Chain A
Amino acid sequence: ETAVFQTPNYHVTQVGNEVSFNCKQTLGHDTMYWYKQDSKKLLKIMFSYNNKQLIVNETVPRRFSPQSSDKAHLNLRIKSVEPEDSAVYLCASSSGTGRGYAEQFFGPGTRLTVL
């Protein structure tokens, strides 16, 4: 099956803990993205990588750090989570360099709840 896969589906944690989310795509795409979707459903890009290289780094708190081992994997680590980090984190991928227009395919998302 070719798609974008994310783990875990859900994660509940306490303020100050560290969390890691994994994303893998089997679509053969070169570019991957992390988006945050908040409680109002607002979709905002956080990072994008093309062939393991960071190409978009939005203004997000320093506790967020993406990690890419190869072009098929893009993980997200959050050090010391805050209540406002509660959201759904969506991973996506697209063909090409990310500089032109190409459909982005989204994963199912990881819902993070920070208590």
Chain B
Amino acid sequence: GEQVEQLPSILRVQEGSSASINCTYENSASNYFPWYKQEPGENPKLIIDIRSNMERKQTQGLIVLLDKKAKRFSLHITDTQPGDSAMYFCAAHDSGYNKLTFGKGTVLLVSP
């Protein structure tokens, strides 16, 4: 199966600065890497994703990078706002096992 490591577990930043979360995976067959945001008491919601045929994707202040050689992908939030405070999960879809494996999550705290 797949193993996904996610760091850091907690990230504190000042409003307006950028935040970066890094994930690594083990299975080279993984081909899809979504990022989910989960606010307290809510369900996880997809915020951005990247497929294995891409190296970079950007949307609305979010950037994801994928380095297939290093089996590493990352989320970068530019110009963070207090509303960005939440738990963020990375995940890798293993096409061989037909499932998403999630990282352990990163608590992002954006202070005014």
Contacts and interface: CB of A to CB of B under 8 A. Distances in A.
Contact of A43 (B51, B97, B102): B102
Interface string B25-48: 000000110100010001111100
B105 A42 contact: yes
Given A101-B32, A101-B93, A103-B34, A45 B99 contact: yes
Contacts of B108: none
B98 interface: yes
Interface string A87-115: 00010000001111101111111000000
* Interface residues of A, dominant DSSP: loop
Given A42-B104, A42-B105, A107-B43, A101 B89 contact: no
B43 A55 contact: no
A27 interface: no
Contacts of A99: 95, 98
B97 A56 contact: yes
Interface residues of B, number: 23
B89 A43 contact: yes
A106 B43 contact: yes
Given A101-B32, A103-B34, A103-B49, A43 B44 contact: yes
A40 B106 CA distance: 11
Contacts of B32: 100-101
B75 interface: no
Contacts of B87: 41
